[in-house]
Every structure is written in structure tokens, then in C-alpha cells.
Amino acid sequence: MADEKKPENGKRLSIVKIYLKDMSFESPMSPDVFKPESWAPQTNLNLRSNHNHIDGDVHEVTLTITVDAKDDDKTLFLVEIQQAGLFEMTGYAEEEHGAIVGSFCPSVLFAYARESIASVIQKGGFPEFILQPINFDALYAESQRQASEAAGEEKH
């Protein structure tokens, strides 16, 4: 790393560490949940991310994903994961920094979280579960739009 050259524009973004911060799996209906012949649960996905400045140019971004599957009002399984990463960011303007921690970093973390979620659900005895890709750029843009609208309403 000592020989690493900074780009001409002075901007640099690197992944320092990716790690699993917390994970839980529950299947409260086991083993009865495995008796039905048909498998058509309703699944819900909830995700959020947060950002903490650690030290210097290092920032921690944590992506929290909750997936639950229900049959009527009975929970078949519930998975929650906090996939985190340390990212070093140098030379970015505040607006660029917001897009990095609000879109780029969660997108990187999602790939790791997605694999962990699929694995634990399958280890719980359930059929293969594949989380579809998520457009974090669009989610970030929408959150920025909502924040702008909320700020506009506060001024009135």
C-alpha cells in the first residue's frame, strides 16, 4: 500500500474490511412448518443503512436487512442481518460522500448479506431463497427527494 498512488483528482475510495456485525434466524413454527405440501408464503423485505465516521477518512456503513416469511399470520421464518464494512474515502465533496455512503457502500454490502441470508434460510430447512437485486442508486435518490420535500415543508 505504501506504493499506492493517489489519483490525479485526489479522490480515493477503498474497502478496508467487510464483516458480519449481527445475524439472527428464527423459525418459531418448526417442525410443524415443514408438514404442508404446498409452499407459498408471503415474504417481506425491510432494509435500512446507517453510517458512522470512525476515524480520519474511515467510515463504517451498516446495511440491515430483515426478511420474514408468513403463512397467513403465522411466521414461518425471520432473518435479520447487519452486514457492515469499513470504507476509506478521501477527497470527496459532501454531496459525493452522501451518495457513496447512501448508495455505493450499501450496494457492496448487499452482495455479502444476500449470500448469508440465502445460506441461513436453506440451513433452516427451507427451499432456496434468492433476494433479487436492489437498485440502491434509485433508493438513495428517492430518500434525497423525500428529504428535500420535508425540508421545503418545514420552511412554510
State the first-to-last Cα distance of the chain, in angstroms, to the nearest integer: 52
Q: Above 80 in pLDDT, residue 87?
A: yes
Residue 2 domain flag:
no
The answer to whether position 107 is within a domain reads yes
Rounded CA gap, 144 and 110, in Å? 20
**Phi/psi at 109 (5° precision):** -65, -30
Q: Which pLDDT band, with edges at 50, 70 and 90, does 79 fall under?
A: very high
Domain count, the chain: 1
- Residue 3: inside a domain: no
Is residue 71 in some structural domain?
Answer: yes
Q: What are phi and psi of 92, to 5 degrees?
A: -100, 145
Given a cut of 80, whether residue 123 has pLDDT beyond it is yes
Global confidence as pTM: 0.85
CA torsion 142-146-152-156 (nearest 10°) is 160
* The predicted structure's pLDDT at residue 6: 54
- Determine, yes or no, domain membership for 89: yes
**93 lies in some domain:** yes
| Structural domain that includes position 128 | 12-148
Identify the burial level of 149 via C-beta atoms within 10 angstroms of its C-beta, where 0-12 means exposed, 13-18 middle and 19 or more buried. exposed
Over residues 113-118, mean pLDDT: 96
Please state, in angstroms and as integers, the Cα–Cα distance from residue 6 to each residue in 2, 11, 33, following that order: 11, 7, 55
Give a yes or no: residue 1 inside a domain. Answer: no
Q: Does residue 113 belong to any structural domain of this protein?
A: yes
Return the CATH number at 54.
3.10.420.10
Range with lowest mean pLDDT among 54-58, 73-77, 111-115, 148-152? 148-152
DSSP letters along 9-56, please?
A: TS-EEEEEEEEEEEEEEE-TTTTGGG--S----EEEEEEEEEEEEEET
C-alpha cell at 67: 426478511
